[in-house]
Amino acid sequence: MSSPVPQRVWLTGATSGIGRTLARRLLEQGHRVALSARGERELAALAAEFDNALPLPLDVTDRQAVARAGERLAEAFGGLDLALLNAGTCEYLEAQDFDVELVERVFAVNFFGATYCLEAALPLLRRARTEGMRPLLAATSSAAAYLPLPRAEAYGASKAALSHFLESLRLDLHAEGIDVSLIHPGFVETPLTARNDFPMPMRIPADAAAEAILTGLAKRRLDIHFPRRFTLPLRLLGILPPGLRLRLGRRLSRSPATEAHP
Give the catalytic positions in this structure.
155
Q: How far apart are CA 130 and CA 135, in angstroms?
A: 10
Neighbours of 153 (CB within 10 A): 18
Judge whether 48 and 15 are in contact, CB under 8 Å.
Answer: no
Q: How many residues does the chain have?
A: 262
| Sequence-distant (≥ 6) Cβ neighbours of residue 24 within 8 angstroms | 46
Phi, psi of 259 (to 5 degrees): -85, 155
Strands (E) in 70-226, as ranges, are: 82-85, 136-140, 179-185, 223-226
Q: How far apart are CA 119 and CA 121, in angstroms?
A: 6
